[in-house]
Amino acid sequence: MLYFSHPACLLHDPGEGLPGHPERPERLAAIEAALAGREWLGWERREAPRASEEELTLVHPRQHVDAIRELCEQGGGAIDVDTYAGEASWEAALRSAGAACAMTRALVAGEAKVGFSAGRPPGHHAEPSRAMGFCLFDNVAVAAALAIAELGVERVFVLDWDVHHGNGTAEIFRRRDDVLFASIHQGGIFPGSGRREDTGSGPGEGFTINCPVAAGSEEGEWMELLEVEILPAAARFEPQLVLISAGFDAHREDPLAECRLEAASFGRMAAAVRVAAEGWGAPVGAVLEGGYALPALAESVVATMSALAGTD
Ligand SMILES: [Zn+2]
């Protein structure tokens, strides 16, 4: 079990330009305090390298990468009403994407069967040419694209259980049949995409699964979508690598949405994914996305990592 992060990910602070921003450094600090208090659950910790420009440009045009770097170099600023990059955000963004890439390299190399990439800023809302929704680069998409472009992986299953639709990841892979993207998210909230009828386009038709749920939905509904719809579809896809866009804002205490999961719910979803992936012979890597109620976030990460390791 491998855990990737970097201290630079604690220095990205959207509150500098957008006061009271929920995506704050304390999120990662809370996760790491909870893990440290449990001897890191026996996981090996590794420092994330910087993602290279070659890695980032697997899914983002060079102009987008340059624009984010120039904004940070010039002292930073708000990109939209809820997305910010400051001077320290460039290094954080490189380490956040780099954590997902390094985890993916290690998993594909067989160094571990499960991994967790704890980076900030998060990634799944970042579209190819547009930072949005607290996200600058789409970390999980960069990692999935890396696995296929450079590591010899032919099929990647990306499961996005963040309460918000992973519009960036969906957009990046919507025309591809080598990445199966499945998302469970609260319908009708940010970013507004992810309708059930959207199943991909062109050669990617059928390789996008959107499962919107209503406000107030509980674990049972999420587990049913996962076990009855998503995992059987993933089994037919025969993935060689599983990446989880692991947001924890479907927790009942989260201030940004109205779903009613508990920390243990994320553990149960992770366990179901782990068992399925074992059957496929595929390693599983989770990449941190959202989650804004600090104790709930930390407990949910602990539950997820414990379940991935099979020590829950
Ligand atoms: Zn979210």
Whole-number pLDDT of residue 112:
98
Task: Output the CA 293–ligand 1 centroid distance in Å.
Answer: 12
Q: What's the number of CA atoms in the CB half-sphere (13 Å) around residue 150?
A: 16
Closest C-alpha to 221, from 178, 187, 255: 187
Task: Output the CA 110–ligand 1 centroid distance in Å.
Answer: 30
Judge whether 151 and 178 are in contact, CB under 8 Å: no
CA distance 67 to 54: 16
Residues near ion ligand 1 (CB < 5 Å) are 162, 164, 247, 249, 290
H-run or E-run covering 292: none
Q: 76-89 as b/e, with b when 16 or more CB fall inside 10 Å?
A: bebbeebbbbbbbb
Q: 218-239 as b/e, with b when 16 or more CB fall inside 10 Å?
A: ebebbbebbeeebbeebeebeb
pTM: 0.98
Task: Give the pair of three-digit tokens for residue 172.
Answer: 């990046």
In the 8-state DSSP scheme, what is residue 40?
Answer: G
125 annotated active-site: yes
231-285: pLDDT as tens digits: 999 999 999 999 999 999 999 999 999 999 999 999 999 999 999 999 999 999 9
58-74: pLDDT as tens digits: 999 999 999 999 999 99
pLDDT at 312 over 80: no
Whole-number pLDDT of residue 211:
98
The residue type found at 202 is G
Task: Output the CA 83–ligand 1 centroid distance in Å.
Answer: 13
User: What percentage of the chain carries pLDDT values higher than 90?
Assistant: 99
Whole-number pLDDT of residue 61:
98
